């Protein structure tokens, strides 16, 4: 197992992922594990330091999250943040109380102990972000106050001899101006970790790991043209060359010209000849008469697996299947709150059915989406591939309200192409996170020339987002929307109305189904 220099125990703070991001941005590799990770598993990762995250609970609550207490006896440097601070205080015999006033927002950190390694190069009076209800009221033995703020007499405390530090504020959030430096100080000056981690070293390490794992066997990899699967395929190709069996399934639900674009991009830019399987008929047959969105997704997911399985049986020696599972997928499923409620069944997460006997290879499991993009660039993938908007596995099927028919697919492809063209030519493509059209299957009356029309409606959906988990509708100039609308109505036979979706997520989702 790979060594993990810093382990972050997650107590359910909305900011936990940011701790990992700040450290990685500073060249320090770390992983987040649930708060109750066993001590054996933590030891097996051979960490040099442990961070206890914040969390919404109170350490005195009946259902408070507590880690395996043995982590306090490992003798490793430790940093507690907010709830993590309160756990440290409680464990070592101090007192935590509910503060008279909850403290949210900016505060000035006054440094009491300027010699403390955690404050190396941190400015006295630096702005930090507070967000807490409870606070430390009495320090444990052998701990000193090393920093304070107007409202927090114990904004930072430490047992320097044991290298245990605790902060009332959140260094990981952007509002804590020198917070990233503070986290780096913990890693570098307290845990003794050098900042050597970067995408280049990650790629090399992964390639070596894949070679070891695969040996002389073959790996099946589904490619969609999206960033994640493209990066996975490229990484595998670097590692094992022709032992990679890269499959591109045309499920008949791709955008106009997409199949040719993806094939050409792989051939010319990566040197991989994709094995394209035209399964259009099979998918569209199965989708006939299906209206319910969840049923569409299930059918598409199952059909994918069948197509894959059939193709796999044609190649001797395939023992592995590669997937582009990301860190966020993994974290979501192990978070302290447990797996979140199923809003939509994303068919590409959740593993394989029992009857499939492939071993999984998931080389992106430890990294974030924007890190995947960096990795792609590192591997030499072209910018236009890296910057592509996400496209869902079930494809256009979930952008047609109601039954998927050849005519609806045509309306969607033609309108989507116009929208993409206009977005690109107006310089807005890279400003939005995702943009597409939806066929609503709502007919309305219009007038074109002197004639009455009674035709279908297309909705334009454009969102701004960081990770797709939340999103706001994009504030696109009206002139661009106007051109999109005019062109769609003029050029797409069967559409006489275009609407713009002004719903954010939540309460909406990005896709319509």
For ligand XMP, give the closer residue by CB, 240 or 256. 256
Q: Taking the CA of residue 87 as centre, how many other CA atoms within 13 Å lie in the half-sphere pointing to its CB?
A: 27
As measured in angstroms, the least distance from the Cβ of 332 to ligand XMP is: 12
Q: Minimum Å distance from CB 394 to ligand XMP?
A: 5
H/E segment holding residue 501: none
Q: How far is the CB of 225 from ligand XMP (least distance, A)?
A: 12
Give the pairing of strands 78-81 and 30-34.
unpaired
Taking phi first (over 0 means left), then psi (-120 to 50 degrees means alpha), and beta for anything else, what does residue 186 get? alpha
Instruction: Let me know: does 54 contact 16? Beta carbons within 8 Å.
Output: yes
CA 452 to chain centre: 48
**Residue 17 Cβ vs ligand XMP, minimum distance, rounded to whole Å:** 17
- How far is 478 from 456, CA to CA, in rounded Å? 22
Q: Kindly give the pairing relationship between strand 164-167 and strand 78-81.
A: parallel
Give the shortest CB-312-to-ligand XMP separation in angstroms.
21
Least Å distance, CB 347 to ligand XMP, is 5
How many other CB atoms are there within 10 angstroms of residue 510's CB atom?
Answer: 23
- Is 83 in contact with 169 (CB distance < 8 Å)? no
Annotated active-site residue in 172, 178, 366, 422:
172
CA-to-CA distance for 503 and 359, rounded, in angstroms? 41
* 346-350 long-range contacts, CB within 8 A, separation 24+: 346/392, 346/393, 347/297, 347/298, 347/300, 347/301, 347/304, 347/393, 347/394, 348/301, 348/323, 348/324, 348/393, 349/325
DSSP string, 259-270: HHHHHHHIIIII
Of these residues, 170, 378, 422, 513, which one is catalytic? Answer: 170
Q: Please identify which of the residues 82, 191, 221, 459 carries the catalytic annotation.
A: 82
Nearest approach in angstroms of CB 296 to ligand XMP is 10
Q: Alpha carbon 80 to chain centroid distance?
A: 25
178 is catalytic: no
* Residue (49 or 225) nearer to ligand XMP, CB: 225
- C-alpha separations of 170 from 27, 85, 291, 293, 474 in Å: 20, 11, 47, 41, 30
Three-state secondary structure call for residue 29: coil
Cα–Cα dist 373/199, whole Å = 10
Q: Of 390 and 446, which has the nearer Cβ to ligand XMP?
A: 390
For ligand XMP, the closer of residues 49 and 392 by Cβ is: 392
384 part of the active site:
no
Which of 458, 438, 436 is CA-nearest to residue 446? Answer: 458
Is 170 considered catalytic here?
yes
Choose between 174 and 340: whose C-beta lies nearer to ligand XMP. Answer: 340
Residue closer to ligand XMP, measured from CB, 175 or 298: 298
Residue 109 CB, nearest distance to ligand XMP (Å)?
A: 37
Rounded Cα distance between 504 and 462, Å, is 10
In the complex with ligand XMP, which residue's Cβ is closer, 297 or 497?
297
The rounded distance, in Å, linking the Cα atoms of 156 and 166 is: 6
Count of beta carbons in the 10 Å neighbourhood of residue 425: 11
CA 24 to CA 105: how far, in whole Å?
25
Q: Which residues bind ligand XMP (CB under 6 A)?
A: 297, 344, 346-348, 390, 392-394, 434, 468, 505, 509-511
**10 Å Cβ neighbour count for 66?**
13
CB of residue 447 vs ligand XMP: minimum separation in angstroms?
A: 34
Q: Which is nearer to ligand XMP, 272 or 326 (CB)?
A: 326
Do residues 59 and 36 make contact, with C-beta atoms less than 8 angstroms apart? no
C-beta closer to ligand XMP: residue 213 or 503: 503
Q: Which among 458, 346, 432, 350 is positioned nearest to 392, based on CA atoms?
A: 346
Nearer CB in complex with ligand XMP: 47/393: 393
Distance of closest approach, residue 389 Cβ to ligand XMP, in angstroms: 8
Residues with catalytic function = 82, 170, 172
């Amino acid at each position: 197992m790979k060594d993990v220099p810093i382990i972050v125990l997650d107590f359910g703070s909305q900011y936990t992922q940011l701790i990992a991001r700040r450290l990685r941005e500073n060249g320090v590799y770390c992983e987040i594990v649930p708060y109750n990770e066993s001590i054996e598993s933590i030891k097996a990762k051979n960490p040099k330091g442990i961070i206890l995250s914040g969390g919404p609970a109170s350490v005195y609550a009946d259902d408070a999250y507590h880690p395996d207490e043995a982590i306090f006896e490992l003798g490793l440097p430790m940093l507690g943040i907010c709830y993590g601070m309160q756990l440290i205080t409680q464990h070592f015999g101090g007192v935590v109380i509910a503060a008279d006033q909850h403290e949210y927002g900016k505060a000035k950190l006054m440094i009491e102990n300027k010699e403390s390694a955690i404050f190396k190069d941190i400015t006295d009076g630096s702005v930090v972000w507070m967000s807490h209800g409870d606070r430390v009221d009495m320090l444990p033995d052998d701990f000193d106050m090393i920093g304070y703020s107007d409202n927090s007499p114990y904004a930072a405390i430490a047992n320097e001899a044991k290298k245990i530090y605790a902060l009332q504020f959140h260094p990981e959030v952007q509002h804590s101006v020198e917070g990233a430096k503070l986290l780096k100080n913990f890693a570098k000056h307290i845990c003794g970790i050098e900042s050597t981690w970067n995408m280049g070293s990650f790629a090399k390490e992964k390639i070596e790991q894949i070679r070891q794992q695969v040996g002389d066997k073959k790996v099946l990899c589904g490619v969609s043209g999206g960033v994640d699967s493209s990066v996975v395929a490229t990484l595998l190709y670097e590692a094992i060359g022709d032992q990679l069996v890269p499959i591109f399934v045309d499920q008949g639900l791709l955008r106009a010209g997409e199949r040719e674009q993806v094939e050409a991009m792989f051939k010319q830019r990566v040197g991989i000849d994709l094995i394209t399987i035209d399964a259009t008929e099979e998918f569209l047959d199965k989708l006939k008469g299906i209206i319910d969105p969840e049923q569409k997704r299930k059918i598409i997911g199952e059909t994918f697996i069948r197509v894959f399985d059939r193709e796999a049986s044609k190649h001797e020696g395939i023992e592995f299947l590669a997937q582009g599972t990301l860190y966020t997928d993994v974290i979501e499923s192990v978070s302290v709150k447990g797996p979140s409620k199923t809003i939509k069944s994303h068919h590409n997460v959740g593993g394989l059915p029992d009857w499939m006997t492939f071993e999984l290879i998931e080389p992106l499991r430890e990294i974030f989406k924007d890190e995947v993009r960096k990795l792609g660039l590192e591997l030499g993938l072209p910018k236009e591939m890296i910057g592509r908007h996400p496209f869902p596995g079930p494809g256009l099927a979930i952008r047609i309200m109601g039954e998927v028919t050849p005519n609806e697919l045509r309306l969607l492809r033609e309108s989507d192409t116009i929208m993409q063209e206009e977005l690109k030519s107006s310089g807005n493509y890279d400003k939005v996170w995702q943009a597409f059209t939806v066929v609503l299957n709502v007919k309305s009356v219009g007038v074109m020339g002197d004639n009455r029309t009674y035709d279908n409606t297309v909705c334009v959906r454009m969102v701004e987002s960081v990770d797709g988990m939340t999103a706001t509708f994009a504030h696109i100039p009206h002139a661009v929307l106007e051109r999109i609308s005019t062109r769609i109505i003029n050029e797409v036979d069967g559409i006489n109305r275009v609407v713009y979706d002004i719903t954010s997520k939540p309460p909406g989702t990005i896709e319509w189904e």
